[in-house]
Each structure stands twice: as structure tokens, then as C-alpha cells.
Amino acid sequence: EDQVTQSPEALRLQEGESSSLNCSYTVSGLRGLFWYRQDPGKGPEFLFTLYSAGEEKEKERLKATLTKKESFLHITAPKPEDSATYLCAVDSNYQLIWGAGTKLIIKP
Amino acid sequence: GAVVSQHPSRVICKSGTSVKIECRSLDFQATTMFWYRQFPKQSLMLMATSNEGSKATYEQGVEKDKFLINHASLTLSTLTVTSAHPEDSSFYICSATIPGGGNNEQFFGPGTRLTVL
């Protein structure tokens, strides 16, 4: 059964303290893996798409990487405005499988 | 580019009434739109896939007679919650993909908070 698991559920960091969020997946046919950011009471905002193992993408303080089993979203020197829930989704044979998200809180 | 809007952003209604939510792609034509609902502190739950000019495809467990979806144009899909009850209170979000993009990224609207009294 296709499954996407995100960890940790919640992560509290001090401003400037770098860390990583994990998205592990078990799917039958990976077509792409997506990262989104969601602020409270808003729709998800698209961040990245990764297609194959070894691929990396960066945007400001965020970098997403992909292996055959998991993806990491690295956040470098985060700021309070990076606080949000980060969602991972995997396109498995044209069906999106969503993770439950990681709630990231950056304290000033 | 790839901007999706929803209207209304919030709606409060009485039990038994019907509520219509609109989802529009503002700067592209979307042959496919998706409707999700999200409960507090939970991830997105796909309700249905809306295809322009044809019937929507509903996920298992979603009542198609209760959640009516119409995708009458390439830029507009509507979700009507019929005879709403308090348990239908939720955050409803639509998304759309860019046709021919090949990447299947979904671009989301800002969501609609429905409260049924």
C-alpha cells in the first residue's frame, strides 16, 4: 500500500538553528515528490518538485533532496517567518499521496 | 503565474441550507481541479477530482449527492455542500494543475472555512 510518512510531527527551533524535516515514502510508481508550505487558515503554497534520486532544489533558506526512500527538507538558519506546516506529497501513478505534515515553529 | 482563487473565504450557515464555494484559476486554464477538505491539525483529504465538461470523480466515502461539483468552464469549478450539517464544518481547499505541464504540481486556492450552525 502506498504510504507517505513525515517526521517529526512538530519541530521547535531557535532562530538560526538549522535542521531537517523528513518525508519517507513507499509507493508503487514514483512520478514526483512535492513539498508545500501551509500557513494557518491558508491553502498550501508550492515549494519544490523532485523527480529522481539524487536531485536537489533550493529556494532561499530551504533545500530539498531526494533518495529512493525519502526526501529531506533542510532549513538553514531559519527565521520566525519560516514557521509553518510543511507538507510532502508523492505522485504515485498519477495519484497524490499526502503526508500528515510537520509543524515547524521558529522562536526568535 | 498559476494563481487560484476561492470564494468565499469564510461562510457561516444554518443547518439544512446549501452552500456554494467557487474555485477559479486566474491566469491559466485548468482542465482538472481538485477539491480537498482539511480538519484541524490534519493533512489534506482529497474529496474529488473535477474535470471540465465531464462528471467529477469522487473518492471513496465521499457522497456525490451531498457534495455537488460542477466544472462548467476551464477557469471555474464549484463545490456545493447540500443540506449542510455541523459535521460538514471544515476547511475546504481547491487546487488545479496546469494542463500540458507534465509535472502534476497542484496550485492551491486560499481555502474556504465553512461553519455550519
Cβ pair B43:A49 closer than 8 A: no
Per residue in B15-36, pLDDT (tens digit) is 999 999 999 999 888 889 999 9
Per residue in B57-67, pLDDT (tens digit) is 999 999 999 99
Asked if A17 has any chain B CB less than 8 Å from its own CB, the reply is no
Average pLDDT of span A69-97? 94
Asked if B78 has any chain A CB less than 8 Å from its own CB, the reply is no
Distance (Å, whole) CA B9 – CA B1: 21
Residue numbers in A near B93 (CB within 8 A): 43-44
Chain A window 36-65: which residues touch B at a Cβ cutoff of 8 Å?
36, 41-46, 49
Distance (Å, whole) CA B99 – CA B104: 9
Tell me the torsion sign for CA atoms A81, B91, B34, B20.
Answer: negative
Average pLDDT of span B2-9? 94
Inform me whether the pLDDT recorded for B52 exceeds 90: no
Distance (Å, whole) CA A2 – CA A41: 28
Counts of helices then strands in chain B (DSSP H, E):
0, 11
End-to-end alpha carbon distance in chain B: 37
Cβ pair B44:A91 closer than 8 A: no
Give B70's contacts (C-beta < 8 A, 6+ positions apart). Answer: B50, B77, B78, B80
**Dihedral angle of Cα A74, A78, A82, A87, to the nearest 10 degrees:** 20
Percent of chain A topping pLDDT 70: 100
Inform me whether the pLDDT recorded for B5 exceeds 90: yes
Best B28, B37, B105, B113 residue to mutate vs chain A (most A CBs within 10 Å): B105
Per residue in A30-43, pLDDT (tens digit) is 889 999 999 999 99
What phi, psi does A75 have (nearest 5°)? Answer: -120, 120
Distance (Å, whole) CA A54 – CA A71: 10
Cβ pair A45:B108 closer than 8 A: yes
B72–chain A nearest CA distance, Å: 23
Give B107's contacts (C-beta < 8 A, 6+ positions apart). Answer: A46, B2, B3, B4, B25, B95, B96, B97, B98
Inform me whether the pLDDT recorded for A98 exceeds 80: yes
